[in-house]
């Protein structure tokens, strides 16, 4: 993306905005946001505009890999929710999510993308039709919305827009009561198909409290079901910017928290408001612990991989679609890029934590140049990088 187009993009975000009714991390803080999936962008060929109020940016992801039949349709993530410390978890980014590509005949290439978005330090009040969320501040609390992002033409190519095909709150069964989870809770997140007449089922169970809830992807246009059978690299979302697996874990970075000032703002490396790129902010939390992924046949990943849609270190150095940054070099305050590590308690994200076994190559685990292909041709996506994770 050229610098002037990036500037126009930022102006558009500011114009649409994320509205926060009050600032400061206290029980009276009410915020809203809309984190859309990041599409590819090819000037004069494929230009996507986010829906009003929505934005997308940085999606560094972790991919379990398997060639087992049905592995992309039936899988269970087991993880422990991170905890606030000297920094709040929400400070480093407004959401992390577990996502997957689904069939959608109304969307480009017949595909949309589901994100089961966990909001740290947040009690969800509403999941809006445009894919957004409205939350109030609640430290060490997690609640969920599940937007499904689609790509539609606006009537004249190459301009497309990205509306939500679906969005729902994860509830306890009561329509308006969110399933509330807390830092340190162990969570099982199960994606599975019940029938072709029903959308993909997402079952969430809090093993610590016994609470549970289910989301079924039945959109206004019909059921949304997984697009691929196998969890293999290359079975990637057609309009995405990475050559990855169908299902992934992502920590959404490059935005300020809904509970700080400025609130819910798109930000880039080098900006003092952008804690996503500040190593002490990650070190000041207790990290997420991804314990395992289990597929429907009882098997586990045969490999793991990571990828960033901005090139990781390349973004810090100004060599990505984001354009120039205020970082003269890599390292130092607000000029580092968070990465995946393996600890004795599972896979972490952010930085080097005390129980670390391997840094998995550190920031260099993310490919820095576009060297993989896809529907938009050669060298149009970032390649997945295998990393030596060993989990059950």
pLDDT tens sequence across 38-64:
999 998 899 999 988 899 889 999 999
Share of the chain above pLDDT 90, in %: 85
Question: Do 233 and 307 contact (CB within 8 A), yes or no?
Answer: no
Segment 182-203, tens digit of pLDDT: 999 999 999 999 999 999 999 9
Does any domain span residue 264?
yes
Neighbours of 87 (CB within 10 A): 17
Does any domain span residue 70?
yes
Give the Cα separation of 230 and 113 in Å (integer). Answer: 16
Tell whether the model's pLDDT for residue 5 goes beyond 60.
no
Tell whether the model's pLDDT for residue 9 goes beyond 90.
no
Backbone angles phi, psi at 3, to 5 degrees: -60, -40
Give the Cα separation of 284 and 279 in Å (integer). Answer: 9
Domains held by the chain: number: 1
Does any domain span residue 137?
yes
Give the Cα separation of 118 and 210 in Å (integer). Answer: 18
pTM of the model: 0.93
Does any domain span residue 331?
yes
Domain that holds residue 378: 3-387
Segment 135-154, tens digit of pLDDT: 999 999 999 999 999 999 87
Question: Do 16 and 52 contact (CB within 8 A), yes or no?
Answer: yes
Does any domain span residue 159?
yes
Cα-based distances in Å from 8 to 4, 12, 96, 288, 387: 6, 6, 27, 35, 37
Cα-based distances in Å from 286 to 196, 204, 277, 328, 353: 40, 22, 17, 30, 8
Does any domain span residue 392?
no
Does any domain span residue 87?
yes
What's the pLDDT score for residue 32?
Answer: 87
- Mean pLDDT of the chain, nearest integer: 92
Give the Cα separation of 314 and 330 in Å (integer). Answer: 9
Does any domain span residue 64?
yes
Tell whether the model's pLDDT for residue 14 goes beyond 50.
no
């Amino acid at each position: 993306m050229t610098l002037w187009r990036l500037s126009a993009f930022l102006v558009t975000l500011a114009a649409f905005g994320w509205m926060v009714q009050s600032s400061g991390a206290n029980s009276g803080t009410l915020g809203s946001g809309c984190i859309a999936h990041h599409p590819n962008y090819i000037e004069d060929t494929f230009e996507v505009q986010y829906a009003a109020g929505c934005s997308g940016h940085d999606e560094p992801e972790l991919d379990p890999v398997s060639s087992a039949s049905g592995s992309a349709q039936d899988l269970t993530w087991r993880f422990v929710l991170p905890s606030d410390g000297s920094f709040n978890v929400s400070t480093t980014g407004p959401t992390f999510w577990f996502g997957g590509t689904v069939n959608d005949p109304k969307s480009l290439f017949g595909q949309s993308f589901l994100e089961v978005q966990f909001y740290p330090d947040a009690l969800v009040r509403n999941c809006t039709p445009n894919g957004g969320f409205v939350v109030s501040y609640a430290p060490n609390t997690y609640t969920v919305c599940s937007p499904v992002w689609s790509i539609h033409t606006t009537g004249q190519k190459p301009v497309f827009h990205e509306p939500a095909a679906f969005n729902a709150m994860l509830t306890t069964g009561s329509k308006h009561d969110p399933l509330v989870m807390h830092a340190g809770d162990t969570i099982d997140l199960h994606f599975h198909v019940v029938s072709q007449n029903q959308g993909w089922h997402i079952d969430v169970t809090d093993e610590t409290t016994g609470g549970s809830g289910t989301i079924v992807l039945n959109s206004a246009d019909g059921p949304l079901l997984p697009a691929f059978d196998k969890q293999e690299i290359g079975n990637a979302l057609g309009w995405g910017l990475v050559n990855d697996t169908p299902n992934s874990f992502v920590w959404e970075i490059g935005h300020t928290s809904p509970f700080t000032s400025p609130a819910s703002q798109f930000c880039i490396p080098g900006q003092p408001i952008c804690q996503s790129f500040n190593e002490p902010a990650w070190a000041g939390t207790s990290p997420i612990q991804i314990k395992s992924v289990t597929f429907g046949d009882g098997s586990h990943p045969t490999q793991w991989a990571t990828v960033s849609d901005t090139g990781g270190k390349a973004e810090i150095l100004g060599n990505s679609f984001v354009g120039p940054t205020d970082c003269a070099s890599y390292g130092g305050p607000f000029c580092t890029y968070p990465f995946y590590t393996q600890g004795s308690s599972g896979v972490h994200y952010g930085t080097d934590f005390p129980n670390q076994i391997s840094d998995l190559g550190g920031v260099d685990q993310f490919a820095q140049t576009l060297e993989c292909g896809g529907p938009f041709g050669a060298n149009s996506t970032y390649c997945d990088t295998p990393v030596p994770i060993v989990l059950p």
